Amino acid sequence: MTHDEYLKAANYWKEKDLVSKKINKEELLIKILEYIKSNNTCALATGKDDFVRCTPIEYSFIDGAFYMFSEGGEKFIGLENNKNVCLAIYDKYDGFGNLKGMEIMGKAEIIDLFSEEYIKVATYKKIPLKALKSLKEPMNLIKVNPLRIDFLNSSFKKDGYSSRQEYVF
Bridge partner residues of 46 (DSSP): 53
What's the average model confidence in pLDDT over 76-96?
93
Fold of the CATH domain 3-168 = Pnp Oxidase; Chain A (2.30.110)
Is pLDDT of 109 > 80? yes
Residue 112 class from Cβ within 10 Å (0-12 exposed, 13-18 middle, 19+ buried)? Answer: exposed
CA separation for the pair 102, 151 (Å, rounded) = 4
Following DSSP, what letter does each residue of 62-74 receive, concatenated? ETTEEEEEE---T
pLDDT for 8-60, tens place per residue? Answer: 999 998 888 888 999 999 999 999 999 999 999 999 999 999 999 999 999 99
pLDDT band at residue 167, thresholds of 50, 70 and 90? very high
Q: Supply the mean pLDDT for the chain.
A: 95
Following DSSP, what letter does each residue of 67-112 receive, concatenated? EEEE---THHHHHHH--EEEEEEEPPP--GGG-EEEEEEEEEEEEP
